[in-house]
Structure 1
Amino acid sequence: METSSLGIDNSGVPAFLLTDATSWWQEINYSHLWQDRIFFTLAALYGLVGIVALVQLIRIQLRVPEYGWTTQKVFHFLNFLVNGVRAVVFVFRRDVQNLEPPILQHILLDMPSLAFFTTYALLVLFWAEIYYQARAVSTDGLRPTFLTVNAVVYVIQIVLWLVLWWNPVHVLAILSKMFFACVSLFAALGFLIYGGRLFLMLQRFPVESKGRRKKLQEVGYVTTICFSCFLVRCIMMCFNAFDQAADLDVLDHPVLNFIYYLLVEIVPSSMVLFILRKLPPKRGITQYHPIR
């Protein structure tokens, strides 16, 4: 038995603190009031990020109206779309949970994640084009590859949804989550490979090169942020698939939802939008390619 210097028994203090912490966590998770507060907070944060992306899209359009749908414009539009849909879903999170058939819940919760993958895969494509152009290597196959990869990912996910609708067994739900974990790992590796290559290439440029230091920081920061966010998403999706305590698709895990979406979407999107806030020059941009 542990006794303090004042003669008070301390043996039950750690257990009491652990029980108190667990009680606090469960109280928030199972409180309808706290669930609504957390989901509305997530909706507000997503809405704010979406508005920032829309404002930046409008600023770019006003700055270079002569260009069509460039990579930069598509990136900001998809950011606005993903964050806008997320905001609406979290505003009506309780209604989403009650949708029938249950496959509709999966679609509304998972489709923005697929769109998030496409949005940031655009950055990988953009950097791959810059890297290969700088090395005088043809980039003709990059865009078809990008479109093919995205098409395959969406088709597989849609097939998994249809199979789940037809036969909603737990194994298929696990398979669907593990598939998206693999997609997230693929995106993380894409950032690591092409962001890393571009970063090393920029490091070899002469020190006096105009904009070298700023571009080096931009690529380094964005690569680190996006690689980390997709890697964390991959790890969390693996836990989500096999551990009921880490299930993100239920109402009574609002704290976990808040931490997860804050770390893998809201904070990374906010940071990347801030880093890429610079408007393109009005004339002759070597780094500003229209999407064909």
Structure 2
Amino acid sequence: MASEAKKGNAVVETIKTVVWALVIAGVFRTLFFQPFWIPSGSMKSTLLIGDFLFVNKMAYGYSYASCPNIRPLGLDAKNICGFLDNENTRVWGAEPERGDVIVFRHPVSGQDYIKRVIGLPGDTVQVQNGIVYLNGEALPQEPTEDFVEVAELQGPHRLSPRCNKPVGAGGDCHKEAAIETMPDGRSYTVLNIGNRGADNTTVFTVGEGEYFFMGDNRDNSTDSRVPKLAGGVGMVPYENLIGRADRIMFSSGGTSMFAFWTWRGDRFFKAVE
């Protein structure tokens, strides 16, 4: 009997340990850093498919979007942290800066997206011939070497890269690249495939408590250039921000982060600029 009691106690202690570990991991993920695996090429060359990073959730404070979606249980962030969903505000809130790379919750679908902030509240944004006009002034673009990658299926979703011209499997896929510079001097690389519909837009005015986002891979990004009701992102409310992407921890060019032979050694601990 004593032996059975000891076994029962051991099982109870194991369950307690697992539960507490899950609670601690959940609190850490909600309050401090959220892991994020780059699923698409919309932020190339800044972020590649298979980059793994931690999102700094302390950067802009907390809202309902700070809570994770637990889709296997059918729980949305609003089911868990709905008490924070109040008039587009945040607890211990801080404002993003133009050029920040941010993970946010899509205003309609609730999916997590990662893009770059281009427009702040009160800004006007327009794209003409692929050039961004911020408050009526063009953001300078300095041409640089083409971004080149292998024309092959990428990531767990087996996505095909888009190239400036048709390329056979295994060939070099080129995209034109340029260094775009913000008014404060912050710069980053943007890619161009060719003339696309989103390369020419109307003038957008960013409303109070909203932000305008674009992907760095300009012709392969669903972002604020297309209204949310038309299948795009539109303006993103302040409360939908999840956190800032600061640094890539490691990167895998394969279908899984565990395929260590596909890890990209030159991207370990690389800063997101």
Q: Normalised by the shorter chain, which TM-score bucket? A: under 0.3
Instruction: Provide TM-score, normalisation by structure 2.
Output: 0.26
Task: Name the structure with the higher helix share.
Answer: 1
Larger Cα Rg: Structure 1 or Structure 2? 1
Task: Name the structure with the higher strand share.
Answer: 2
